[in-house]
Amino acid sequence: MDDILAKISEAVYEGEEEEVVRLVSQALEQGTDPQTIIQEGGVPALSRLGEDFNNEEVFLPELMLGGDCMKALVGLVSPHLGSDQGAYKGKVVIGTAQGDLHDIGKSLVATQLSIHGYEVIDLGTDVPTNVFLDRAEEEGADIIAVSSLLTTAQYYMGDLIGRLNSEGRRNRFRVVVGGGPVGPDYAREVGADGYARTAHLAVKMLDQVMQNEPGTALVIEA
Amino acid sequence: MDKHMKLLRSLDKARGGARVTEKEWDQKILPRTLKEVAKEHGLLGSCDPENPVNSDPQLADAFFKAGWDAAVRLGFFCPDTESVIRVEEDELARELERVPSNFPLGQGPEQVRVPARRPSDGVQPIYCSPLSIQMDEELYVPLVQGILSSRLVDMQEGPSIDTVMGSPLLAHTPYETFGGIYEAHLRKEAQWRAGRVGIGNSLVASSSTHFGFLAAFNLFEQPQLCLCLNPASLKVNYTTFHKAFVTNELGGYVRSESPTMVGGYTGGAETTAIGSIATDLLQFPITGAALPGSPSYEILYAGNCGRKGLWAQSIATQAVTRNTSMPLMKTINQVSGPFTEMFFLETIAGMTAASASGQAFTISPRSAGGSVKNHLTPLECWYNAAVFKGAAGMSLEDANTVCKEVLPRFEGQLFDPPKGRSFRELYDIRALTPDAEYLEMYLKMREYAEGLGIPMPGDGVFC
């Protein structure tokens, strides 16, 4: 059993999604505990990827491929988990605000969240406010994460929270913000639930935000 | 019509090219191709962080060949059509023969010519300032007036504003269209106050989409520079084509910038340099850009004054400037802010490496990483200009020595840099004079740069 978990871990690290699917299916058929597959197969690979990324031994594409493998792994084992055993810490709908085409910072945050236990729905760049809201509703998301590198696009963060307030839905979603011109003061001004300066800090911030009810407190990791 | 035809051909290719998703491009096609090319040319492992400015011309030429191969194999990905615009090798060679080796910007006595430069070239490069750092709209005119009061500044790009007469400047809306017009009026006011009517402009700073640009570009007598920001290396989008058509018709010049990131999609320092070279080589054939610029940042701290950022950017610059006759621009991204010693040290490293490696043009500063509103004053701009111009003619070996001298003094702070102080905190805005303590630091850091062997030209205001 340890052997197959080691192989799963290696396949996640190498970003070989088809191999991950094959090995996880095999492990499930052999009766391996689903939580063990996640904790001893997927998680160590992602920790190693994160560490190697910080040491500049692997780069963003490898990190993203690893995140995709973990998503596939969790998708396969989820139906086998007990009803009280969530596979993810939370579900995040993430994107870059309307008018902004920058994607690297947002993708790095999405990947970091993905490899640290969040289910991430990446909407891409130039995402209109209504699309954030509609997709968050459709997906049953816990968190809406909005990034902007442009001052002209950051205003949509305030619009999004304003719309949630005016529609009486602020208690449905935690909203976190980030990106070049966005700082703690702006996050406070628009009434966000969280702000982080870097992708690494975003994980720490979101872990804390998930402890709070939406719209009740601001968590800052700067 | 010739320039328009080139753009039409590129658009046709974007519509008819093989379809790939952006995810495939980012995660597989781009990184794997760059790695293959680096391996084939024996360049993996050639980054030498202990010597951040390369002084081996053969290595620079080897990188050029690798960048050329990568350009031919990859082309540019167009996110609007999810397809690739490819350029055949003979077409690339033909197009690069046609790149203008210099071109004018601005009018009358303020006009400058952007020259192609080579490593250690004694010809002074052109300095444009500032980058699009966000400022309160009421600070725009005094700040720009202050910046342009030194003749070290040849052209204007930023700063950017986030409100127009108090209303939010929202992307993809008519606010943005008006934002372009409003910024143009503010520029003209500031340039007139500074006695710099006719100075060249890079347009527009407050709106990165085509809305603001289309509204403002024809409000200036040509030739001006059109600012095109593409989302990442080896990508081009419809916004750039919108702008390029108008620029061509009005008689301006396109500046097309696509950043590469060490640690990002392009991988490590060597593959990032190759990606940067490929991007710069493809700009003229695909977008007609007379001034390409693919800067290399380090993803872990979003700047390029650390060792790997300096190395990747300097070798990519040397590769292109040694082997083509195109003027090349790249930005220097400081992460520390005004009134910090670190800002001056980052500037010495970044600007010395850039100038000695053959850059023709730069736009700076990116004080406080460009992420803290109002953290910009004229003194940072003038210091950048003085180092960039003062280092013209410096040998690559000397530039490397300068970088090695200053790096240990700030590199430990790159991940948590001091943000410094704002324009309001550091300047008497009515009199346009700096705080005495800050002026003293500025003059002391000029002396420090001169002590390192950089002959700093005077700013004409304080020295």
Query: Which residues on A lie below 8 Å from B268 (Cβ)?
Result: 56, 59
Contacts of residue B426, defined as CB under 8 A and 6 or more positions apart, other chains included, come to: B338, B339, B377, B379, B434, B435, B438
Q: Is B171 a member of any domain?
A: yes
- Test the B interface: residue of A100, A151, A155 with most B CBs within 10 Å: A151
For residue A152, the distance in angstroms to the closest alpha carbon of chain B comes to 5
Q: Is B156 a member of any domain?
A: yes
Q: What is the pLDDT of residue B171?
A: 86
Q: For residue A105, what pLDDT band results from cuts at 50, 70 and 90? A: confident
Q: What is the pLDDT of residue A84?
A: 54
pLDDT in tens, B191-250: 999 999 999 999 999 887 889 999 999 999 999 999 998 878 899 999 999 999 999 999
Q: What is the pLDDT of residue A85?
A: 58
Q: How many CB atoms lie within 10 A of CB A143?
A: 25
Q: Does the ipTM surpass 0.90?
A: yes
DSSP state of A42: I
Q: Give the domain-ending residue among A42, A60, A80.
A: A80
For residue A153, the distance in angstroms to the closest alpha carbon of chain B comes to 5
For residue B107, the distance in angstroms to the closest alpha carbon of chain A comes to 30
Mean pLDDT of A6-18: 96
Cα–Cα distance measured from residue B128 to residue A32, given in angstroms and rounded to the nearest whole number: 63
Q: How many domains does chain B have?
A: 1
Q: Are residues A21 and A96 in the same domain?
A: no
- Test the B interface: residue of A14, A59, A65 with most B CBs within 10 Å: A59
* Lowest-pLDDT range of A114-118, A165-169, B127-131, B453-457: A114-118
Q: Are residues A126 and A208 in the same domain?
A: yes
pLDDT in tens, B328-350: 999 999 999 999 999 999 999 99
In this model, does residue B424 exceed pLDDT 80?
yes
Q: How many CB atoms lie within 10 A of CB A162?
A: 14
Share of chain B above pLDDT 70, in %: 100
Q: For residue A83, what pLDDT band results from cuts at 50, 70 and 90? A: low
Q: What is the pLDDT of residue A80?
A: 87
In this model, does residue B463 exceed pLDDT 80?
yes
Query: Which residues on B lie below 8 Å from A53 (Cβ)?
Result: 263
Query: Which residues on B lie below 8 Å from A61 (Cβ)?
Result: 26-28, 30-31, 265, 267
* Closest to B208 in 3D by CA, of A179, A101, A177, A124: A101
pLDDT in tens, B74-83: 999 999 999 9
Query: Which residues on B lie below 8 Å from A59 (Cβ)?
Result: 31, 263-268
Mean pLDDT of B371-392: 96
Residue B169 is nearest to which of A56, A152, A183, comparing CB atoms?
A: A152
CATH code, domain with A66: 1.10.1240.10
Judged by a CB distance cut-off of 8 A, whether residue B171 touches chain A is: yes
Q: How many domains does chain A have?
A: 2
Q: Are residues A56 and A105 in the same domain?
A: no
- Identity of the amino acid at A94: I
In this model, does residue B62 exceed pLDDT 60?
yes
Residue B170 is nearest to which of A61, A102, A152, comparing CB atoms?
A: A152
Does B79 contact A101 at a Cβ distance shorter than 8 Å?
Answer: yes
Q: Is B283 a member of any domain?
A: yes
Q: Give the domain-ending residue among A80, A110, A125.
A: A80
Q: What is the pLDDT of residue A1?
A: 57
Cα–Cα distance measured from residue B226 to residue B41, given in angstroms and rounded to the nearest whole number: 35
Judged by a CB distance cut-off of 8 A, whether residue B28 touches chain A is: yes
Share of chain A above pLDDT 70, in %: 97
Mean pLDDT of A73-78: 88
| Average predicted confidence (pLDDT) for chain A | 91
Residue in chain A lying closest to B159 (CA): A151
Q: Is A195 a member of any domain?
A: yes
What radius of gyration do chain A's Cα atoms show?
18
Q: How many CB atoms lie within 10 A of CB B169?
A: 26
Taking the alpha carbons of A161, A166, A171, A172 in that order, is the dihedral positive or negative?
A: negative
In this model, does residue B125 exceed pLDDT 90?
yes
Query: Which residues on B lie below 8 Å from A155 (Cβ)?
Result: 162, 168-171
Q: Are residues A106 and A59 in the same domain?
A: no
| Average predicted confidence (pLDDT) for chain B | 96
Residue in chain B lying closest to A157 (CA): B170
pLDDT in tens, B46-60: 999 999 999 999 999
Judged by a CB distance cut-off of 8 A, whether residue B160 touches chain A is: yes
pLDDT in tens, B151-179: 999 999 999 999 999 999 988 899 999 99
Q: What is the pLDDT of residue A39?
A: 87
Mean pLDDT of B26-31: 95
Q: Are residues A63 and A147 in the same domain?
A: no
Q: What is the pLDDT of residue B172?
A: 86
- Identity of the amino acid at B303: G
Does B308 contact A56 at a Cβ distance shorter than 8 Å?
Answer: yes
Q: What is the pLDDT of residue A200?
A: 83
Separation in Å, CA B323 to CA A2, A111, A147, B39: 55, 38, 39, 21
Residue in chain A lying closest to B238 (CA): A101
